Amino acid sequence: MALSYTDVLNGNIFIGSTAVAGVALPISTGTAVTCALWNTSINRNAALLGVAVGYTSGTIALGEFGIANQFVGNAVNSGGPLTAATTGTPKNALLGAGAASTMSFIPATATLAAGGTAALWLGKSIESATAGLGIFDGYRSLDVPLILPPGQIAFICGSVAQTALFTCSMIWAEI
């Protein structure tokens, strides 16, 4: 499923972004999630179409970017797989119009009871710890979308935990 003009015009494409100050990305097995799409719908799937990652500040840890996932159910639960989450409001790609998303986007903080597992490495890596010499093109359109059925969470991660801050966006369709 490729991103199409018709899907955008129909109001089915959404974008979730972190704050401009950025977030520290967890390792794929980490429990401190900082940029995530969580399918809280009971009857729709989310098709993750693309992600963008850009360096903001701090000391960069060398490694690759990826997407991790875990089943967490549809609610935050003190004894459950998702123990805390602060959600944000994604934008409909039909800017200024379109329906609200039925999914939850987490732009900064969520806590998993157990770490996720890597679903896809993006082929985008940081090869220098010096800002300006590393990654410049941090956008990746997914040739085959990752489908999140209800209760799944997918989050941007690193092959190593990052101490640097990155601004991130996730683009998805609701089907």
Give the position of tokens 């903001």: 56
- One DSSP character per residue, 68-133 reads EEEE--SS--TTSSEEEEEEE-PEESSTT-SPPPSSEEEEEEEEESS--EEEEEEEEEE--SSTTS
Closest CA to 49 of 126, 159, 145: 145
Q: Where are the domains of the chain?
A: 5-174
pLDDT at 132: 62
> Is residue 81 over pLDDT 80?
yes
In terms of pLDDT, which residue wins out, 69 or 77?
69
Question: Average pLDDT in the 47-74 region?
Answer: 90
pLDDT band of 136, cuts 50, 70, 90: low
Q: Which two tokens mark 108?
A: 């900064």
Regarding pTM above 0.95, the answer is: no
In terms of pLDDT, which residue wins out, 57 or 136?
57
Distance CA 24, CA 163 (A): 6
- Evaluate whether 126 touches 6 at the Cβ level (below 8 Å): no
> Is residue 135 over pLDDT 60?
no
CATH class of the 5-174 domain in this structure: mainly beta
- Evaluate whether 170 touches 12 at the Cβ level (below 8 Å): no
| Max Cα distance, the chain (Å) | 45
Neighbours of 161 (CB within 10 A): 16
19 sits in the region (left: phi over 0; alpha: psi -120 to 50; else beta) called: beta
pLDDT band of 5, cuts 50, 70, 90: confident
